[in-house]
Structure 1
Amino acid sequence: MFSSQFIRDITLLRDGIESFGNYPFALPAIRSFDRMELHPGVTFIIGENGSGKSTLLEAIAVAAGFNPEGGTRNFSFSTRASHSELHRYLRIGRGINKPTDGFFLRAESFFNVATEIERMDAEPAFGPPIIDSYGGVSLHEQSHGESFLALVMNRFGGNGLYILDEPEAALSPQRQLTVLARMHDLIADHSQFIIATHSPIMMAYPDATIYDCSAEGLRRV
């Protein structure tokens, strides 16, 4: 499994930061951040609201080449530029292999991703509709939980880097278990996950690495 690890570690380039008194560098989790090693399968980032876990995850995703609002690396739309500049100060330590698939999920902006898919499918194209890769049913015509499950079950194809921000937001406990089972299959198929979550169900995934964002800073637990 270690040979398939796409991101080995993430380092904060502290020398380039002018001040740790400004957002987001003033957050304890960022101010104390130096380097984090990632698990080849699943790394969780946890913490209370406002602790900086989503800010850190977003910066990791952008530094890894994803659109700040979510989607694959091919998505370049922007509804509202609200991401921080933290990604400019992260160094991504990559493995020798490159993922052939990838997705950044932000629960709060998944609606915008669904809208972008419909916009692209409305344009003339030679290939099949993009929505076919998501199960063939408009994501707007499903509940939030159904559309996210359709994403994980249909669009995630293995050998991928998947960065998920609070994926449990729209999922029942039973659906969270379904996602865990799908994650397990994808990890066996050489995928790597980085997940910010509040869910104890998600965090129960075996042999994962967990980092806690707290008032004391960022620490591995």
Structure 2
Amino acid sequence: MMKSKSLSPYIKYIELDRVRVPSFSRYPFHLPAVRNLDTLALHPQVTFLVGENGSGKSTILEAIAVAYGFNAEGGTKNFNFSSRRTHSDLSDYVKVVKGTRTPRNGFFLRAESFYNFASNLDDLDSEMAFGPSLIDSYGGRSLHEQSHGESFFAVFLNRFSGDGVYILDEPEAALSPSRQMSMLSRMHELVEEGAQFIIATHSPIIMAYPDALIYQIADDIEQVAYQETDHYQITRAFLNHPQKMLKLLLE
């Protein structure tokens, strides 16, 4: 891999203010991963949070994004819409420790509320009386006029730029395997231009990005190598022996 133009992170690490936590017996603090969270160092380029459904990876990712200043439902720091308050209050107890660099750009992209973000973007664009259209920054076409995968990728291609912080929650939910590989290529371009990514994912394709820091979240948060992740091992076992795996699953 080529080296990016800077290895200084925008976000160095996050820290849970455990003294202020009201109770470790209620949501989201009762989740094992949160209950055991203290300090979590972040890679200056790419950090992955991986784990089973319900492990708490998206909850932790959301807390990082909100504590950093992003809207809980996604977008840039300029978006403040809310369709329904469903995010946890973990962000109130998470401290984001920043590096010496100041990003020029940033985005919180999450699959579950992307529709709400696209709707708010259309609303804001229709209210603008003069100046360039907001949609122009996203490819010049309403995100609602594209498939879910196309609109997701349009944001990734057009709205993201170098020298930015990008927090992505399960981006593979909208992307085919080939588009996930295209995403890796685009990520690398942005990393070369000084971007920092923090990504929660189930995709063994996306988490294959070289030299990334991978945290596997279960009862605790453990740093692992790519080949040690459950996602890689399960996918490899299935693809190498599909008939054997299907027989075990379907008996």
TM interval, shorter chain, is: over 0.9
2:113 match: secondary structure = helix
Moved over 4 A (4+): none
Q: Which residue of 1 aligns with 2:141?
A: 137
Q: Which residue of 1 aligns with 2:223?
A: 220
Q: Which residue of 2 aligns with 1:41?
A: 45
1:178 match: secondary structure = helix
Aligned match of 1:126 in 127, 130, 133?
130
Name the CA distance, whole Å, in 2 between partners of 1:125 and 1:191. Answer: 33
Asked if the contact 2:13–2:97 (Cα under 8 Å) also holds between the matched residues in 1, the reply is yes
Q: Which residue of 1 aligns with 2:233?
A: none
TM-score (norm 2): 0.86
| Structure (1 or 2) with the larger CA radius of gyration | 2
Following superposition, the deviation at residue 124 of structure 1 comes to 3.0
Q: Which residue of 2 aligns with 1:20?
A: 24
Asked if the contact 1:45–1:197 (Cα under 8 Å) also holds between the matched residues in 2, the reply is yes
Q: Kindly provide the CA deviation profile for residues 166-217 of structure 1, in whole angstroms up to 9, marking residues without a partner as x.
A: 0000111100000000000000000000000000001100000011110x21
Following superposition, the deviation at residue 220 of structure 1 comes to 1.3
Name the CA distance, whole Å, in 2 between partners of 1:137 and 1:43. Answer: 31
Structure 1 unaligned segments of length 5 or more: list them. Answer: none
Name the CA distance, whole Å, in 2 between partners of 1:124 and 1:113. Answer: 17
Aligned residues: 220
Asked if the contact 1:3–1:97 (Cα under 8 Å) also holds between the matched residues in 2, the reply is no
What percent identity do the matched residue pairs reach?
60
Aligned match of 2:114 in 106, 110, 114?
110
Asked if the contact 2:7–2:45 (Cα under 8 Å) also holds between the matched residues in 1, the reply is no
Q: Which residue of 2 aligns with 1:96?
A: 100
Name the CA distance, whole Å, in 1 between partners of 2:216 and 2:171. Answer: 17
Letter in 2 for 1:88: D
Aligned match of 1:191 in 188, 195, 203?
195
The reply to whether residue 74 of structure 1 matches residue 78 of structure 2 is yes
Q: Kindly provide the CA deviation profile for residues 121-169 of structure 1, in whole angstroms up to 9, marking residues without a partner as x.
A: 1113332110101100110010110001101111101111000000000
